């Protein structure tokens, strides 16, 4: 188990290096330049100013050198300083990350809470009206873009009932109830769109597992159908479902960026969006790097949960 972990961590290094390369260089390909933006805001447009700012921000050096300096900092946990706010990027991320993490976790919880029971139901009632209904619903969830649904939830209740989801962010530890009230709607919307695929996967896996010989053995013992499904089928069916949820992490993060914007949640997504508009390169790079690390960690967690669910990998 320990060697497995070590191997996985070592394998993550080259991946992260590639991520850092892409993150650093690709961002500078976005048309429009941070200096132009700054000059435009300050209404001064002389060549000397430009050179001065460039030098102050360290942007007059060759790009490769900038990368090496940035990477060296990143290795020591220093992601540089925001070009606009003059605060360390790590401090900004440290402030925003827990908020996005909470949103993602809630969304995943909602997704599993919806997807697993409904997927199981759909499988054991295969080809009945209930099955068709839940499958159509999941197809609908798959087809509807999250931002559209989010906007709808924002607009219509306020038009019809003069009620809108709360939009003022409260930190969780300041007031958990207010915090959850704010997070609930975006987390549910995000979770629902995730649950579409998860639900179908659960259904497919359950159908597959219920055909297996050991299910027949379980029934031949005289076990009730409920025990057969929960104890014998679900545990086997959940292994691939867990993988799928893990693989959806990038989709989840993408969705979170949109939800954070619609519901004004000051998480990583909002931070990233502001940074992109301002061409705040260190912040953008930092956010992407942290997201990359997060995705890799989730994948690792998924592999570890395999071990929990599948005894074959546990002893290996």
**Binding site residues, other proteins, CB under 8 A:** 212-214, 216-224, 231-232, 235-236, 309-312, 315
Nearer to other proteins, 228 or 284 (CB): 228
Nearer to other proteins, 61 or 314 (CB): 314
Considering the complex, what minimum distance in angstroms separates the CB of residue 163 from other proteins? 47
Contact status, residue 199 vs residue 134, Cβ threshold 8 Å = yes
Contact status, residue 227 vs residue 200, Cβ threshold 8 Å = no
Q: Nearest to residue 232, comparing CAs of 246, 242, 222?
A: 222
**Helix (H/G/I), strand (E/B), else coil: 302:** helix
Nearer to other proteins, 61 or 235 (CB): 235
d(CA 194, CA 171): 25
Considering the complex, what minimum distance in angstroms separates the CB of residue 111 from other proteins? 23
Contact status, residue 172 vs residue 187, Cβ threshold 8 Å = no
Considering the complex, what minimum distance in angstroms separates the CB of residue 223 from other proteins? 6
Specify the residue for token string 């057969």: 228
Nearer to other proteins, 54 or 310 (CB): 310
Other CB atoms closer than 10 Å to residue 29's CB: what's the count? 6
Considering the complex, what minimum distance in angstroms separates the CB of residue 129 from other proteins? 16
Nearer to other proteins, 210 or 244 (CB): 210
Considering the complex, what minimum distance in angstroms separates the CB of residue 211 from other proteins? 9
d(CA 252, CA 245): 9
**What is the distance, to the nearest Å, from the Cα of residue 78 to the centroid of all Cα atoms in its chain?**
23
Considering the complex, what minimum distance in angstroms separates the CB of residue 122 from other proteins? 16
d(CA 110, CA 201): 16
Nearer to other proteins, 15 or 204 (CB): 204
Write out the two tokens for 112.
Answer: 């599993």
């Amino acid at each position: 188990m320990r060697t497995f972990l070590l191997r996985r961590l070592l394998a993550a290094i080259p991946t992260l290096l590639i991520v850092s390369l892409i993150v650093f260089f690709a961002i500078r390909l976005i048309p429009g330049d941070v200096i132009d933006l700054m000059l435009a805001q300050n209404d001064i447009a002389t060549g000397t100013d430009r050179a001065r700012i460039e030098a102050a921000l360290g942007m007059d050096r060759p790009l490769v050198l900038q990368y090496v300096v940035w990477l060296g900092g990143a290795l020591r946990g220093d992601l540089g300083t925001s070009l606009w706010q003059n605060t360390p990027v790590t401090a900004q991320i440290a402030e925003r990350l827990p908020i996005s993490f909470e949103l993602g976790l809630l969304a995943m919880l909602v997704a599993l809470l919806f997807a697993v029971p409904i997927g199981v139901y759909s499988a054991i009632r295969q080809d009945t009206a209930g099955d068709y209904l839940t499958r159509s619903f999941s197809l609908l969830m798959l087809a509807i873009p999250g931002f559209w649904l989010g906007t709808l939830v924002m607009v219509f209740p306020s038009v019809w009932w003069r009620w809108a989801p709360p939009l003022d962010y409260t930190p969780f530890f300041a007031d958990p109830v207010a915090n959850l009230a704010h997070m609930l709607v975006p987390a549910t919307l995000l979770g629902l769109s995730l649950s579409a695929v998860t639900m179908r996967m659960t259904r497919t896996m359950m159908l597959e597992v219920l055909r297996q010989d050991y299910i027949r053995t379980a029934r031949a013992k005289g076990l009730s159908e409920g025990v057969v499904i929960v104890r014998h089928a679900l545990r086997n069916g959940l292994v691939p479902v867990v993988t799928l949820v893990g693989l959806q992490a990038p989709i989840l993060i993408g969705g979170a960026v949109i939800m954070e914007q619609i519901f004004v949640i000051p998480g990583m997504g909002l931070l990233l969006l502001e940074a992109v508009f301002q061409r705040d390169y260190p912040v953008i790079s930092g956010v992407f790097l942290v997201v990359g690390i997060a995705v890799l960690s989730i994948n690792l967690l998924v592999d570890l949960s395999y071990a929990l669910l599948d005894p074959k990998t546990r002893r290996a």
